Structure 1
Amino acid sequence: MFILNISPDQTNGYFDHSRRIVLAYERIQDFYLADASKLLQAEARQAPKNVAVEAAMAALIFAEATARDEDVFTKQSIIRLKKIQSKINNDTASNVHHLIAEVEIAIYCGLLQVRLNNRLRAASEFLTAYTTSKNAYKMHPQNPVVKLLWGNMIATIGSLPPELRKYLSFVGYTGDVKKGVDLMKEAHRRILNNKTYKIYSTRANILFLISAKQLVDNEEILPESFGIDPMENYVTAIVSAKVLMEQGYNDTALKILKQIQPKEGQFPLHYFHYLFGKGLLAAGDSECETSLLTFLQNYKGMHHVKAAHRLLAWHYLLANDIKKADSLMALVPTVGLSVIGPDQQAERDAEERLNLTLIRSRILFDGGYLDEALEILLSDSGKKCCKDPIEMAEYHYRLGRVYQNKGWIYPAIENFEKAFSQHQQPAFNRANSALQAALLYEKLGIHGKATYYYSKCLELKNFPYQEGIHQKAKAGLIRMGAY
């Protein structure tokens, strides 16, 4: 744990992004956290009134807590962040940088509360971020960092489930996905094109990539298309690889990850090995076993553990080691927690039999290897692989997704509709089939059908990735003027 001792008399400070502060952020973004701590300690001794030290320390605390991902340490980190937030808030020499720091710290705390599955506390932190960013936007509407944060807030709230959004509107919190995303795009472009805001560029890149991936349906989110160099630093590389992998650009993601293999002196980010293992599995590389085992052996937290066991089981299944595959899937319900989407889906998958055809096509599709996935699904064995309606729903969903990504709209819609109608249970593939069918109907201008499937998607509850799927369905209904 990195500790920073600053005098409690912080009532007349100033905010200076000195050379040490700039270097500290650079070291944090490359995960040389011990180096960053030394730089901040030196700056604190030389300039005890510089509030920028506190803001940078908050970024360091969040980076370490994210990397460790252990509940006890996460709780301690939230307490430390709240103390820093209070100091910055109480500083009488408040300016735009103070406000930005307060918003960022509230977001840090909210994200860490999500990790602890404290949804109400997370909501409270995000509402603090909303209020502070709204005030900041009123005071500094032309500042692109403020605009980026405010855009993120209104886009996020605008995409929340209907019942929660309605409640928030009663207490003065409103959102608008399109307006928020447009503000973020404009602000992000200005931040990257103006050296004045360089110290914020990496944080802007990460916030923009993650938010855009969650909220934007009608365009690819490719880092370089938005002026982002994935190799700018370690953090940007990890986030870029994750976003690319989720869109089927597996080879590109692997190329990035291979260039940022952990180095001596870096604070260990065990998630790297999980992500690398996932990508290697999709590429058919047996080295995925080493990466996933490295993750499970060294990571002490509770997230992605179920998902890592499932990925390993799939690796052994593809290697025809059925006994190992079955034993690992049997472990899935007993390890880790079901808080994040990948773990929730892994636990659902553990309830079903291992279907080689569906899993192989799923892995290939996730990696962007569409022709190979289609060949498997359309083969004689592929057509005969399903034993029950649940597997038939998965089969048609997989086929629909392949057709969709190849640009074959009508076969995609046909299979999404078949997937949705196979059974009545809440499941990710049914919900996402309804969502994707709606998106395609909207693209074709068939708004009645689009509205129907967006609504059907929102009717389904208690499935993995529900929050994100519902956000996009609700955004679709808003575009249709049906919400």
Structure 2
Amino acid sequence: MWSKTLLTTFFFWFLSSSVHANFVMDPNSINAYNAIMDLRFADARKLIQDERTKEPNNGITILLEDYMDYLHLTLNNNKADYDKLLDRRSDRLDALEDNDKNSPWYLFSQAEVYMHWGVLKSQYGDYISSMRDLNKARKLLTENNQKFKDFTPNKKSLAWTELLFGAIPSNVRGVASMFGLKGNIDSGYRKLEAFKSEIVGSKYSFYNDELIFLIGLINVDVLKSKNNYDRLMAMSNEMNDKSLLKKYLQGYISFKMGHATEAINYFSAAPQTAAYMQLPIISYWLGNAKLCRMDKDADDHFQKFLTENKGSSYIKETYLKLAYHSLLQNDVNGYNNYIKLVRSKGAANDEKDKQALKEANDSRPDIALLKARFYFDGGYYSKALDLLKDQQVTELKLIRDKIEYYYRLGRTYDRTNNVAEALANYDKAIAIGRTSTYYYAANAAVNSGVLYEQKKDSKKAAEYFNAALQMKNHEYQNSIDTQAKEGLARVKGD
């Protein structure tokens, strides 16, 4: 009788143990994660299903699926998809809470989900809920780091939260302060780079592509790096050659850092088979890069983006670029037709779309200034400078165009390291544009502040950053104010 009872007890103990939820980052899970970071979602789904068949209670699969939604929503910027997928956040958190509480992945995986959706909520305009999620992520990571100090992935996500909190835009910092969210961009960035170095050759080396993606975006969108191109491209070459994310990142960095020809090559080489996540935004950026090079087929890529894109963002901006492409081809009727579409299509939620609508409702741009603008954006600085030097400012009839002329001349001299001419032309833009609703004067003030900061003249830098903050009701107000405040914080720290 005793042996029968013991046998029954052992059987139920074995049964309950075998179905107990756990976390296993095994080779199959790592392969699924790598496929996700390549944006090979078809392969990733199959590997996740294989993992569930083999390890039905592996909580890692929940985190992997969250990565897929995070990357899809981050890159495609589709509000309808965001609204549809948002409920998965709570379901996943509930499922993760039923897992093995003794695993270092237990709190970490929950923090990752909170962080993914905190970033997404901010991207889609839900700032208060975003701050709640990011705050929750930080608390979970801090607790996990206390429990499992040797669990290396904690460092990645703690560094990311520190950087995120430091990069909160000025228009939502009041909300962030309610939660006591403070961070430091430089410190967070250094820790991310340190983590990347630490995982080389370790069992966590699979995080390398994610780190490269984050570091690349931070340099372009947060740090506004100008002279880090070669290093970032060398780093991106470490990513898997089969990766769509790699080609997107390389193209994005190239375009944003003024290397339009290289961007065209990278975007054109991006894999676009059914094995990969559909990424219409590549056509958008490819169209922009080709427009900067004055390629006649730039409109084909803008049209492809409009056909494939399922979201509402960048629609107005794309029609504006089609209008400008027509104008540069001397097709005034095409320009006028596309301007009408800017006004009637898409939504004006994103800053780019708001700006597109404002430009569509403004006077037609000066052709020479328009060409100079695109040549500059593409990194063709000598062509931009030649156009601007040939332009007589006295021939420009609109005050808008005079401000833009000095601003673009200042920008071009800035990028070609002629600091004296850059500052002189920025001053002219500020003098005649400080009360306008155009962004030129405010951005000229920020750029001047940065130049004086580089000259180690903190007093003069602060004057220009403050001048930018004093200009109100202009385009890109939030982003320019944020840059000015960050500049002030840096020079005051000196």
Fold equivalence (TM over 0.5): yes
Instruction: State whether residues 13 and 93 of structure 1, in contact with CA within 8 Å, keep that contact through their aligned partners in structure 2.
Output: no
Aligned to 1:78: 86
Shift of 1:265: 3.2
* Aligned partner letter, 1:455: N
Using the TM superposition, name which of 17-26 and 369-378 deviates more: 17-26
Aligned to 2:3: none
Q: Confirm or deny that 1:291 pairs with 2:298.
A: no
Change (3 A) 1:367 1:59: same
Q: Confirm or deny that 1:434 pairs with 2:445.
A: yes
In 2, the alpha carbon distance for the partners of 1:332 and 1:116 equals 21
Change (3 A) 1:299 1:473: same
* Aligned partner letter, 1:285: D
1:201 pairs with one of 188, 191, 208: 208
Q: Confirm or deny that 1:337 pairs with 2:347.
A: yes
1:306 pairs with one of 316, 320, 326: 316
Instruction: State whether residues 69 and 85 of structure 2, in contact with CA within 8 Å, keep that contact through their aligned partners in structure 1.
Output: yes
Instruction: State whether residues 78 and 112 of structure 1, in contact with CA within 8 Å, keep that contact through their aligned partners in structure 2.
Output: no
In 2, the alpha carbon distance for the partners of 1:307 and 1:139 equals 48
Residues 431-477 of structure 1 deviation map (CA, whole Å, 9 limit, x = unaligned): 22111000001111222220011122233455554444333322221
2:236 aligned counterpart, secondary structure: coil
Aligned to 2:163: 155
Change (3 A) 1:97 1:387: farther
User: What pairs up with 1:376-455 in 2 under 5 angstroms?
Assistant: 376-379=387-390, 381=391, 383-384=393-394, 386-423=396-433, 424-455=435-466
Shift of 1:398: 0.9
Aligned to 1:374: 385
In 2, the alpha carbon distance for the partners of 1:137 and 1:369 equals 48
Change (3 A) 1:49 1:259: same
In 1, the alpha carbon distance for the partners of 2:161 and 2:370 equals 37
Q: Confirm or deny that 1:214 pairs with 2:215.
A: no
In 1, the alpha carbon distance for the partners of 2:109 and 2:228 equals 27
Change (3 A) 1:283 1:28: same
Change (3 A) 1:411 1:216: same
Residues 208-252 of structure 1 deviation map (CA, whole Å, 9 limit, x = unaligned): 221232332565343744633176321132123212211102122
Is the radius of gyration larger for structure 1 or structure 2? 2
Change (3 A) 1:107 1:239: farther
Using the TM superposition, name which of 105-114 and 233-242 deviates more: 105-114
Change (3 A) 1:161 1:21: closer
Instruction: State whether residues 117 and 339 of structure 1, in contact with CA within 8 Å, keep that contact through their aligned partners in structure 2.
Output: no
Change (3 A) 1:420 1:100: farther
Aligned to 2:269: 259
* Aligned partner letter, 1:199: F
Residues 39-93 of structure 1 deviation map (CA, whole Å, 9 limit, x = unaligned): 2112112201211111111112223444654433211212112311232244233
Change (3 A) 1:323 1:371: same
Aligned to 1:244: 254
User: What pairs up with 1:344-359 in 2 under 5 angstroms?
Assistant: 344-352=354-362, 353-359=364-370
Aligned to 1:322: 332
Q: Confirm or deny that 1:118 pairs with 2:126.
A: yes
In 2, the alpha carbon distance for the partners of 1:156 and 1:290 equals 36
Q: Structure 1-normalised TM-score?
A: 0.89
2:204 aligned counterpart, secondary structure: helix
User: What pairs up with 1:83-98 in 2 under 5 angstroms?
Assistant: 83-98=91-106
* Aligned partner letter, 2:129: R
User: What pairs up with 1:354-365 in 2 under 5 angstroms?
Assistant: 354-365=365-376
Using the TM superposition, name which of 72-81 and 90-99 deviates more: 90-99
1:227 aligned counterpart, secondary structure: helix
Instruction: State whether residues 396 and 419 of structure 1, in contact with CA within 8 Å, keep that contact through their aligned partners in structure 2.
Output: yes
In 2, the alpha carbon distance for the partners of 1:96 and 1:469 equals 41
Q: Confirm or deny that 1:40 pairs with 2:22.
A: no
* Aligned partner letter, 2:324: W
Aligned to 2:9: none
1:439 aligned counterpart, secondary structure: helix
1:220 aligned counterpart, secondary structure: coil
Aligned to 2:154: 146
2:86 aligned counterpart, secondary structure: helix
Aligned to 1:60: 68
* Unaligned segments of structure 2, at least 5 residues: 1-16
Shift of 1:397: 1.2
User: What pairs up with 1:163-242 in 2 under 5 angstroms?
Assistant: 164-165=172-173, 168-169=176-177, 171-191=179-199, 193-217=200-224, 220-222=227-229, 224-225=231-232, 227-229=235-237, 232=240, 233-242=243-252
Shift of 1:373: 0.4
In 2, the alpha carbon distance for the partners of 1:164 and 1:300 equals 28
In 2, the alpha carbon distance for the partners of 1:219 and 1:190 equals 26
In 2, the alpha carbon distance for the partners of 1:88 and 1:258 equals 40
Change (3 A) 1:166 1:61: closer
* Unaligned segments of structure 1, at least 5 residues: 1-8
Residues 185-216 of structure 1 deviation map (CA, whole Å, 9 limit, x = unaligned): 2223333x234222222222222221232332
Change (3 A) 1:316 1:219: closer
2:194 aligned counterpart, secondary structure: helix
Shift of 1:164: 4.9
Give the alignment's Cα RMSD to 1 decimal: 2.7
Change (3 A) 1:245 1:143: farther
Instruction: State whether residues 23 and 99 of structure 2, in contact with CA within 8 Å, keep that contact through their aligned partners in structure 1.
Output: no
Aligned to 1:470: 481
* Aligned partner letter, 1:421: A
2:278 aligned counterpart, secondary structure: coil
In 2, the alpha carbon distance for the partners of 1:96 and 1:386 equals 65
In 2, the alpha carbon distance for the partners of 1:317 and 1:420 equals 29
Change (3 A) 1:111 1:164: closer
Aligned to 1:28: 36
Q: Structure 2-normalised TM-score?
A: 0.87
Aligned to 2:292: 282
Residues 114-143 of structure 1 deviation map (CA, whole Å, 9 limit, x = unaligned): 443323223333333333344445555665
In 1, the alpha carbon distance for the partners of 2:475 and 2:298 equals 24
1:265 aligned counterpart, secondary structure: coil
* Aligned partner letter, 1:371: S
